């Protein structure tokens, strides 16, 4: 009886070492995967999957103020924009004077989702002194909408471009921030 148990253990060990599998719930062996030329065999990416970091060279010039949008990264709860703005004027400027620096997506036509800036506590209106450049990563609150394919960055959106305030609060718009998924 002892020999029978040892024989059974040895048989099971040898099956395991040769790569055989015991599938008690399976009645038929699995068919090997087959190749298909059909385009319907690929599964589309998840609608909730965040896009990868994107690189751009978008430049906006506005009355002695130059802006360059370099990168956009997407996180679970924010959109991070790498931006540099140079103040070539002789007076200080503000990029978010009236708390109106934001991103807007294209999911709702003209009124897509709005992602507001989370301003830094030490410079909430984003003041740039004359002859200096502000470089940084600007954080906009909210997860990118799954159907968004384009963003626009608005700087001082409520300041009319023709107003006297425009010298200190330049109205700038970065359009065509296309999202690659």
Tell me, yes or no, whether 12 lies in a domain: no
Rounded distance between C-alpha atoms, residue 111 and residue 116, angstroms? 14
Q: In Å, how far from its chain's centre is CA 165?
A: 33
Task: Look at the pTM and tell me if it is higher than 0.75.
Answer: no
Total structural domains within the chain: 1
Tell me, yes or no, whether 42 lies in a domain: no
Looking at residue 21, its pLDDT comes to 38
Rounded distance between C-alpha atoms, residue 86 and residue 30, angstroms? 64
pLDDT tens per residue, the chain (181 residues)? 544 444 444 443 343 443 433 333 444 444 444 444 444 444 455 567 999 999 999 999 998 999 999 999 999 999 999 999 999 999 999 999 989 999 999 998 778 999 999 999 999 999 999 999 999 999 999 999 999 999 999 999 988 776 676 789 999 999 999 999 9
Tell me, yes or no, whether 38 lies in a domain: no
End-to-end alpha carbon distance in the chain: 65
The enclosing domain of 137 has a CATH number of 2.60.40.4170
């Amino acid at each position: 009886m002892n020999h029978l148990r040892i024989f059974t253990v040895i048989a099971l060990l040898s099956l395991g070492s040769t790569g055989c599998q015991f599938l008690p719930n399976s009645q038929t062996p699995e068919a090997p995967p087959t190749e298909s030329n059909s385009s319907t065999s690929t599964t589309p990416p998840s609608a909730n999957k965040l896009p990868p970091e994107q690189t751009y060279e978008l430049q906006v010039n506005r009355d002695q103020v130059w802006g360059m949008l370099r990168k956009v990264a997407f996180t679970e709860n924010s959109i991070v924009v790498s931006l540099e703005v140079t103040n070539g004027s002789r007076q200080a400027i503000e990029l978010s004077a009236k708390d109106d620096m934001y991103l807007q997506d294209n999911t709702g036509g003209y009124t897509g989702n709005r992602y507001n800036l989370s301003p830094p506590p030490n410079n909430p209106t984003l003041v740039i002194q004359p002859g200096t450049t502000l470089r940084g990563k600007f954080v906009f609150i909210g997860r990118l909408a799954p159907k968004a394919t384009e963003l626009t960055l608005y700087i001082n959106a409520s300041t009319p471009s023709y107003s006297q305030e425009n010298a200190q609060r330049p109205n700038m718009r970065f359009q065509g921030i296309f999202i690659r998924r």
